[in-house]
Each structure stands twice: as C-alpha cells, then as structure tokens.
Chains A and B, each alone.
Chain A
Amino acid sequence: MSAQPDTAVEVDGLSKNYGPVAALSSVSFSIESGQYFVLLGPSGGGKTTLLRLIGGFIRPSRGRVLLHGRDVGDEPPNRRPTSMVFQSYALFPHMSVERNVAYGLKLRKMAAPEIGRRVARMLELVGLAGYEARMPHELSGGQQQRVQLARSLVLESDILLLDEPLASLDAKLRKDMCLELKHIQEKVGITFIHVTHNQEEAMTIADRIAIIADGRLVEEGTARDVYERPRRRFTAEFIGDNNLLHGTVSAIAAEPGGRVKVDLGYAEVAVDATVAEGTDVAAGDAVSLSVRSELVELVAPGGAEDGARQTVPATYLEEVYLGLTTSHLVRLPDGSEVAVRRISEGGDAAPPAPGQEVRIGWKTPSARLHVE
C-alpha cells in the first residue's frame, strides 16, 4: 500500500452526500502517528462528517479511509483501531464512572482484576481518582468529559477521535482542559484527531491543523503556518484577526525575490513575491491582501516612506477597548474597515479624533497575497 508505516490515517478523495447536500467533497490528507491533529472550521463545514467517516459511523459516498495503511471501508466502528469522544451526553447514564470506563475492557473479556487496575490507572491519569462510584449525572460537565476520555483511552486504541469535546464547557474550564488534553496526548503518545470550531482551542493544542469549510479541505499545516502564513483567503478570514484589502495586480517584478505591485485603487502597495510563490498571478488579476490586525500600525504623519513598509491613507473611526488589546478602527478610501490592534497600556497616547485623516502601514513581509 502507498501509505508510510508511520501514517496513522490517510483519507483519499473522501466524499459524503446526504441526498442533494454534499457534506464533504473529495477530501484527501494524511496524519502521522502520534500527532495532535485538529480539524478546524465553521459550523456545518463537514468536520463531524469527516471524523465520523474515519470512525466508521457513516459510510463514505466516495473515497477511502486507510488506518495504518489498511483500507477499513467495510469495517464497523468496533473493528477499527479508533475510539471516539463525543461532545456530550455520551456517557452511559445507567452505569457508574467505573463501569463506564470498564465497559470496553469487559467486552474484551479481560479478567476483572486487570480491568480494575487499568480503570484505576486511567482515572488517575484524567484526575478523577476517587470518583469511581459516581453516576454520570453526579458529575460536572468537565468531569463527564474526563470520564469519556478515560473510557476511550483505556482501550489503548491508537487513534482517538474527539468531536468538539470541550464545546459544552465554559470558557475558563475549556482553556484548562485544553492544555490538559495536550499533556495527556503527550503522555500516551497516540494520534488524536480533534474537531473544533474554536481557533484558540485549535492553536493551543494542535501539532497540525486542517481547515475544513463547505465540505472541503481549505488548507493544512502547522498551527504556526496557518496563523502566520495563511495561503488561502478563507483561512486568513477565519483565523486570527485579519484585515482584507482588495485590489488588482499592476506589476510583477521579473527578478527572483522581487515584489508584486498591487493597485488598491487609492494607493499602490508592494508585496513580497515569496508570498506569492506557488500562486499563479498575472498582471490584471483581482487579488486580496491580508494583514493581521496586530501587524498594522497607525503611522505618524510624515513618517519615513521606505521599501520596508507599506502605507495607505485612511480615516480614523473609533477606539474599541478589548481588555488585553485595544482596537483602533479606520476606514479606507474604498469604504472597507481595517482594525489596528495594540496591547493596551496604561499610558496610551490619546488616539486621533474620529474623522481625522491618518495613515496606516505594515512591514512589507506582513502582508499575504491571495488569489480568488
């Protein structure tokens, strides 16, 4: 088979249709063993569908799923080396915590003392030692998710699927559980595939992230890649607080390492050509630029115009205090709005008055070019 021995999951041209609805269209990627892999994307994008296809809960309309190089197309969930953690309500409500975790081992007809040992070890790992006799309804949401995790991990399957496991928890708990999930994954060393629509969660835990939207794989890479160097405009819009500027390509430098010039209509800016590598732009193409809001600055009038920085004129709108950061909103001459984000500091200088003409700017390598 084509897969490398250390490829845990390979999906190949996977599609799923529900009647006329294409929940997933021709998605292909592979996941290395032992990775924490996150499927990130907006609701209804097809993440759950993808995860359930891998787990064997639904059959693909087209395409293949290979787990450790083996085509598992005909295997039901209980015959796959995967195990799943659900968003909520998935604990068996009529069984105690201990019996929930022991269930899979009992099905394997393991000896009772051995089951007891493994269950105790697993509850220890997820921080629930002493809760064996509790019933699920006597646990908080976070604890229920830990029990689910224990119930899956105790099976020692080598691929763990998690479908929005933290979505029903409150913000603070979600953050803590997030880190804990990561640590547990590092401890057990198996492949985790985690579905979420929360980008912060994804950034915190992921080794690699795949962006899924409209049933398609938009982009895949390390957390740093998708955040700092989004290749697709969708990624830029979805991840981070990106500003988008629209224009047309006016010139392309011939020499390598040169720059692409983009005409925004009211100004012309340059983009590093390395950014455009792989994208096939020609003069006259409609393109978008994305710049993260923390990389945009308000430029003092009359500041030096050099090649290291691009600036455009704008009208100051207002200041929005967000706690850690403060956002300054400005309007560009074409009507679109841009956010300029700064760490809030006690002694911030007074912002410009609303309506005042200002300039904004960014370091040339900060801008990404997207063709779409």
Chain B
Amino acid sequence: MRDDYTSELGHGLKWAYLLGIVGALLAPVFYVIYISFNEFGFGARIYVFTVDWYRVVLGDKMLVASLEWTIYLALAAVATAVPMGLLSAKLYKKTRYKVAIVTLMLAPLFVPADIMASSLLVFFRHLNGIFELIGEALGWAWLTHWFELGFFTALVGQILYTLPYAFVVILITMSRYHPQQTEAARSCGATAWQAFWHVEFPQIRAGVFSACAFVVILSFNEATRTALLKGGFDTFSNVLVSQMLNVGMSEESYAMAGIMSIGAMTVIGSILIYTLVRSERLEREARAKAEPVMST
C-alpha cells in the first residue's frame, strides 16, 4: 500500500500515534495493576511489592462465592450464546431476510446496559406475577417460579449482551467458508448435521472458539444487567462496583480490578498470539500454493 513517495517520517509518526492510542487506553489499567501490588496502595510515597491484597481478596469467602457465581454464569452464557450465535449466523447465510435478521441480532448492542437491565427487570417481574397467578389458579406449583429473578433471568441478560458479539465473530469467520463444500458433502451422502460437523465446523472452529472466549470475558466483565436481574447472588463485578461506591478506592478494589484485567488480558492475549501465529502459517501455505507445484 505504501508507495515510494510516502514520507518515512510521516509514516512513522502515524504508527506512533496508533500505538500511542492503544497505549493510552491500556496504561491506566497497567497503572491499576501496578498499584494493586503495592503494600501501601494508591497515593503512597513508597512502593513495596506485595501480593497481599490478592491474598485478602481470594481469602474473602464472600468474594470467592461471587467468583463462583461469575464462573457459573460465564459457562452458562458460553453454552447458550455461542450455539445461538452459530445458529443465527447460519440462518443469516440462508435467509432472504438478511437485513431483518442482522438488525435484530445487533440491536441489543445499541440498547445501553441500564436501559436494557431495567426494562428486563420490570418485564420479568410482570411475567413472574402472571406465571404465579396462572400457577395458583391451576394449582400448578411448578409454573410459579419460572421467571423469579435469579440465575435464569441474569443469564437472559448476559445472553442479550454477548449474543451480538458471538454472532458477528462467527459470521466473519463463516464468510471465508465456501458453502458448496457443504453441498459436496451432502452429495457424498452426508446428512445436514454430518456435513456441518465433518466439513464446515473444522473450518470455522477458530471463530467459534474466539466467540467462546469473547463471551466468557464479556460475561465476566458484565455488571449492570446482572446487578438488576440476579436476585439473590452477587458476581465478582457486582461486588467490585459496590466496593467502589461504598468504600471508595480501597486496596482490595485495586486487587479486584487487577484480577479482572489480568484475567481478560491473559485470555485475549493468548487468542491474539494464537491467531497471529495461525495467520502466519496460513500465509506461508498460501505462498506455497502460489508457486507452481507441478505440471498437470
């Protein structure tokens, strides 16, 4: 893309700017991590490295319990949002009503957390009321608790938050897949499911796994929807928010922020490295392909 007349200096400056923005977005986070390892916390004149604050956090029964809930929710979100992302991406490929489908799938992105959370809260409370009424009227006890605020309603909030991302990531991977391979498999005698599992899935696997990682991280990070929809339990980020609001910037909250960011960076960092290494390999293969292999 660069031509011989592009100024080297200008080009370098632009790169510096790009990296500078990434750095500026990341620097505060690194600073938080840095402080979280100081025995004396934020604002102290001296810095003594310690992991004590992490010990305090991980030794706190309530925090560990919240971490467990976070993990359950994340696993449930992956188990639901990723298959749904896959189904909707396939639907998008097939349907004539592409604009409608994509609008519906991406719309939740455009409804801010607090708006969606409070709407869902009110919706579920009404729904719960209706189900209780029906349950009592018919004497069906099993019907009464379906939409009580709790794990399920929190999960709905999380699915709404993560599904658009899962959909987009999988759809982008799928756009590189040639659908005639599915047809070729069908004409070899495969059922629709076999064709998907033997032929398509191996080729979009990377996208599905990235979607899983995205959903896990987004679910970990999500605070607002869970806070309103969760009912009785707390997730890690819920606790962090209430810490920040009630206690202010305590040493523990730095350590908690540290845990969240280090976790996310580890997962995303490994995916990025894997992706880069893989695309490097694919490129090498592409180069090998470009060279004449043999005569016909």
Physical contact A–B (CB less than 8 Å)? yes
A interface residue numbers (CB < 8 A to B): 18-19, 55, 57, 76-78, 82-84, 86-87, 89-94, 103-104, 107-108, 137-140, 142-143, 148, 151-152, 155, 161, 173
Q: Are the CB atoms of A140 and B293 closer together than 8 Å? A: yes
Specify which chain B residues have a CB less than 8 angstroms from the CB of A140 in the assembled complex. Answer: 292-294, 296
Please report the number of residue pairs spanning A and B whose Cβ atoms sit closer than 8 angstroms.
Answer: 82
Specify which chain B residues have a CB less than 8 angstroms from the CB of A151 in the assembled complex. Answer: 184, 188
| Pairs of residues from A and B, 8 with the lowest C-beta to C-beta distance, nearest first | A104-B188, A89-B178, A77-B186, A84-B187, A90-B184, A137-B289, A86-B180, A142-B296
Please list 25 pairs of residues, one from A and one from B, whose beta carbons are closer than 8 Å in the complex, sorted by A's number.
A55-B183, A57-B183, A57-B186, A76-B191, A77-B187, A78-B188, A78-B189, A84-B184, A84-B187, A89-B180, A92-B184, A92-B199, A103-B188, A104-B188, A107-B194, A108-B189, A137-B288, A137-B289, A138-B288, A138-B289, A140-B293, A148-B184, A151-B184, A152-B188, A173-B296
Interface of B is mostly: helix
Specify which chain B residues have a CB less than 8 angstroms from the CB of A19 in the assembled complex. Answer: 96
By CB atoms of chain B within 10 A, which of A78, A138, A139 has the most?
A78
B192 and chain A: residue at smallest CB distance: A76
In the complex, A90→B286 CA distance in Å?
17
How many residues of chain B get a CB closer than 8 Å to chain A's CBs?
27
Q: Of B181, B187, B294, which contacts A55 at CB under 8 A?
A: B187
Specify which chain B residues have a CB less than 8 angstroms from the CB of A104 in the assembled complex. Answer: 188-190
13 further interface pairs, Cβ-Cβ under 8 Å (given A86-B183, A91-B181, A151-B184): A55-B183, A77-B187, A78-B188, A83-B188, A86-B184, A92-B181, A92-B184, A92-B185, A92-B199, A103-B198, A108-B189, A138-B293, A152-B188
Specify which chain A residues have a CB less than 8 angstroms from the CB of B289 in the assembled complex. Answer: 137-138
Chain A: minimal CB distance from B193 (Å) = 11
A154 and chain B: residue at smallest CB distance: B188
Specify which chain B residues have a CB less than 8 angstroms from the CB of A77 in the assembled complex. Answer: 183, 186-187
Chain A: minimal CB distance from B289 (Å) = 5
| A94-B202 contact given A84-B187, A137-B285, CB 8 Å threshold | yes
Chain B: minimal CB distance from A148 (Å) = 7
A19 and chain B: residue at smallest CB distance: B96
The answer to whether the Cβ of B66 comes within 8 Å of any Cβ in the partner chain is no
Specify which chain B residues have a CB less than 8 angstroms from the CB of A155 in the assembled complex. Answer: 188-189
The answer to whether the Cβ of B203 comes within 8 Å of any Cβ in the partner chain is yes
Q: Are the CB atoms of A76 and B185 closer together than 8 Å? A: no
In the complex, A145→B190 CA distance in Å?
20
Q: Are the CB atoms of A90 and B181 closer together than 8 Å? A: yes
| A84-B183 contact given A104-B189, A143-B296, A155-B188, CB 8 Å threshold | yes
In the complex, A152→B185 CA distance in Å?
10
In the complex, A178→B203 CA distance in Å?
32
Chain B: minimal CB distance from A9 (Å) = 15
Q: Are the CB atoms of B183 and A90 closer together than 8 Å? A: yes
Chain B: minimal CB distance from A45 (Å) = 19
A18 and chain B: residue at smallest CB distance: B96
Q: Are the CB atoms of B186 and A78 closer together than 8 Å? A: yes
Q: Are the CB atoms of A89 and B187 closer together than 8 Å? A: no
Chain B: minimal CB distance from A96 (Å) = 13
B195 and chain A: residue at smallest CB distance: A78
Q: Are the CB atoms of A78 and B187 closer together than 8 Å? A: yes
In the complex, A83→B185 CA distance in Å?
10
In the complex, A134→B198 CA distance in Å?
19
